[in-house]
Structure 1
Amino acid sequence: MKTLFAAVAMACIAGAAAAQDASLTANFGEVRLRAGFTPDPYTVSITAGGSIDGSRLPGSCTGSISSAPDFELTYTAGSFPLIFRTLSSEDTTLIINGPDGQWYCDDDSYGDGDAMVRFNHPQSGTYDVWVGKFSGGTASARLQITETP
């Protein structure tokens, strides 16, 4: 019985994450950056949001997002932190699938309705980034990638 329960629980978790498909082409492009990159911050204009409820993912994820990542960063780490921020006149969220396969989420840590996820000791690898809209729908936004706190 415990084995059946564990299998059902894992299927539910996998199903929730399956709606976000990091293998899809990112909606607003991709970039390869190495520690010490310039210009810093690296900024991308995107449309935040989508039709999928981000709260279905593990952790404290929230906001409406798309199936495909909005942006993909392949990063070669060094001694700097790696920080993702959103900037928008709407309330935006961040959902990141890191190189370790873990989900990292934020709603308002950058203040004023903007989100921020900081990796103090980032791993080298691919970061798939979804920028969500808290109240559903879509909104114009900018994603900033920086090593400067």
Structure 2
Amino acid sequence: MPAMQFQTTVERPVEDVFDLLADLKNYPRWLPSGGLYKSVAQISDDPVRLNTTYVDHGSASMLTGRITEFAPPTLLTFRQFSKQRIAGLEGGLEIEIRYTLDAHGTHTHVTRAIVFQVQGVIWLLQPIIANAIRKENERIMATLTNYLNAPSPATT
């Protein structure tokens, strides 16, 4: 399974960063549509917790997600999957997004680790999918960094 890792350090306490990442309903406040991500909907719990489910609407697919690790304020993991039919052939995509947050005084080091697996006919598109996932994760981390390092971001 292909894996990628993205890191940044933000000028916010670890609790603020975790709260922002776990607040799915307010993602539009800091993460605009673009790249692969469009919106999150059908969130089963507010506030979110372990096993909260949601639907991630993307530009090319819709992924059903679940929070599989929830350990405030340092660990948050999402697992998403999508099944698709292309020319009558089955295919799918499964993605795990794992945030690990390390406190350093008033700063937080954020690691976003991605593992994904393509299945069926989608396998033929793996290099294209991997490139799109890399670009989208770079965009998400840059947006997160800019938002949290702004003079007074509202994180709740």
Higher helix share: 2
